[in-house]
Amino acid sequence: MIPFKKLTILLSIACSVLAAPEGAREKDWWEIGNFYQVYPRSFMDSDGDGVGDLKGISEKVGYLKEIGMDGVWLSPIFDSPMADFGYDISNFTKVFPQFGDLPETFEMVTEWRATLEEFKQKNGGPTRVLMVEAYAPLTKVIQIYGQNGQLNGAQIPFNFEFLNNLGAVSNARDFKDVIDYYLSTIPEGATPNWVQGNHDQHRSASRLGPQKADAVNMLLQVLPGAAVTYYGEELAMEDVFVPWSRTVDPQACTTDPNIFHAKSRDPARTPMIWTTQKNAGFSNSNYTWLPTGPDYRKNNVEVQRSQRGSHLNIFKKLTQLRKQDILMYGTYDSYLANDDVLVIKREIENNRTLIAVLNLGFTEQVVNLNLNDRDWKVPERMEVATASVNAGMFERQPVVTSEVYVAAGVGVVLDYQVGRQIPEPRGDDPGLYD
């Protein structure tokens, strides 16, 4: 028996097999799927009691489709004494009253089913996916894929190696070490998965540094396998300060006002920031279960939708790329340009190449992609597919690959398609490349 500190099993139902290029094995939807963790108490409040609920989640299905999600990891909604906000389930057949009731659960399921049926009509037959959340060493987690060399266990045992091993002082070498170790450890034929945040950890932008938010999202989207996004990471949401007087996390409440912040998970669980309206559009209540971040009027879904180079629109571009052959079927390789810069290549030979240049360090860098230890054949010029908010680059801007400038924390994804003529760079005005 595997000794887990914590084990949560989730079922996701979705549809389709993704058509493969000639000679490649067809992949099922989940093998390159984008999954989104919803923390129900904080996502959307439909009844004005200050706590998110199932109906609120149903109201936002369209948003999840908009940002390119394929499935949802829903934190527990069942009846519970709430000693750990729902993870201590007392009745698997009853919904916790504050989230709704069984009819509302059925309503939510109906809403999701309609979305899945629409997907099925376009793409084909159903696949049921087993996902497992286990806090254990990687050597134990990989056993959940199956036993005795068989992949007969969970398709997606969550990979928390980024959460467990990377922090504010981590550089590109640290990231690559974690990636390489994980890929070399999982069973042959298993599908990798990548998780950068969840409800038990500080938010990614706070844990790794806000300047790296887009680069880390790029990393998850260009790596092979499935990707898991914690709600708000597409916006680069950061932890929100929650004072002792508003603290509700049980593991913090058992401490005292002097040390509670070291134990509290509340800062990463605050309400989703939707609009400039009261409580960021999360609730019309005068009191929400946790406070909303103070800058929500400047930073929310509504505002970022309208900004061409926002975190949200960069994320949407990445998820669009992920649904294309290059990231579904392209070969994967990577190298370190130096301790700060990780370079990843996805390629379909004689067709298309994507190269992500990710400065995960703390100083600006100029990278010559032609100087690498992987014997890559790199085009003289490539186009920007997307770049970090503060990259100073724009979509479709030509870049000379012998001199790619990336500021500290910045990432850029470069694109080259065989037969496409890429002009010489003409300046940094985005209008030049529309």
What is the per-residue pLDDT for 380? 94
In the block, tokens 């690959």 appear at 401
Cα–Cα distance for residue pair 357/405, rounded to 1 Å: 9
pLDDT given at position 76 = 60
- pLDDT value at position 226? 97
Coil/strand/helix, residue 204: helix
Tokens of 70: 């394929």
Q: What is the pLDDT of residues 25-77, one digit of tens each?
A: 888 888 999 999 999 999 999 999 999 998 899 899 999 999 999 988 886 65
> Is the dihedral angle over the CA atoms 97, 101, 105, 108 positive or is it negative?
negative
CA atoms of 250 and 245, how far apart (whole Å): 13
pLDDT of amino acid 424? 87
Confidence of residue 429 (pLDDT cuts 50, 70, 90): low
DSSP 345-384: EEEETTTEEEEEEEE-SSS-EEE-TTS-TT-----SEEEE
Pull the structure tokens for residue 17. 């097999």
Q: For residue 25, what pLDDT is reported?
A: 80
d(CA 335, CA 345) in angstroms, rounded, equals 9
What is the predicted pLDDT for the residue at 129? Answer: 75
All structural domains of the chain, each given as residue ranges with its CATH number in brackets, are 34-322 (3.20.20.80), 330-417 (2.60.40.1180)
Pick the residue with more confidence: 170 or 92? 170
Beta strand extents in 51-142 (DSSP E only): 71-74, 78-79, 91-95, 126-134
Tokens 């929310």 correspond to 300
pLDDT at position 383, please? Answer: 97
pLDDT in tens, 117-163: 566 677 666 676 778 787 889 998 888 888 778 887 878 889 999 99
Q: Give residue 11's pLDDT.
A: 34
Instruction: Pick the more confident residue, 392 or 124.
Output: 392
Mean pLDDT of the chain: 86
Decide if pLDDT at 286 tops 50.
yes
DSSP 278: G
Q: Residues 6 or more apart from 59 whose CB is under 8 A from it?
A: 44, 46
Q: If we measure between CA atoms, which residue out of 193, 200, 198 comes closest to residue 179?
A: 193
Q: What is the pLDDT of residues 354-388, one digit of tens each?
A: 999 999 999 999 999 998 778 898 999 999 999 99
